Amino acid sequence: MAILFKTTEETEQYGATLYRSLGKSRLVFLTGDLGAGKTTLVRGVLRSLGYQGIVKSPTYTLVEEYHVSGVNIVHFDLYRVKDPEELEWIGIRDYLQQDSYCFIEWPEMGSGYLPKPDFHLKLSSGSAGHSLEICS
């Protein structure tokens, strides 16, 4: 079953709902084409914690860390990763062992190197808006 979001605001609101439902789950994979709403969903998580700064996709930096309201959020974008071993260079094992919520866009680029996620969310966009499917 897919959840449909007609606006960016609805996608962000779902991010807040997602955060509340994660509990002790710490690793979330976000898959979907460019512009499907992956970063918007993470922005919603951060806004629900009170973060008011800019939230952009870490396409070029590969990782962005946020510390807000006593919670650590780590946002990865692996779109530009050519070899999963590059994840070792950015210290992904250390990030995954921290007491942080890790959201990973384009996790397929780290296939065989990343552990199994607690949640796998697939986002897509179409003429009616964005949709989200919970895969695990």
Could you tell me which of 46, 48, 29, 40 has the C-alpha nearest to residue 5?
Answer: 40
User: How much is the pLDDT for 105?
Assistant: 96
47: left (phi over 0), alpha (psi -120 to 50) or beta: alpha
CATH number of the CATH domain containing 102: 3.40.50.300
Helix (H, G, I), strand (E, B) or coil at 109: helix
Centroid of chain to Cα 122:
11
pTM: 0.91
For the residues 101-115, what does the mean pLDDT come to? Answer: 94
Task: With H, G, I as helix, E, B as strand and everything else as coil, classify residue 41.
Answer: helix
Residue 91 neighbours by CB distance under 10 Å: 11
* pLDDT tens digits, 58-99: 888 899 999 999 999 999 999 999 998 899 888 999 999 889
Q: How many domains does the chain have?
A: 1
User: What is the domain extent for residue 100?
Assistant: 2-134
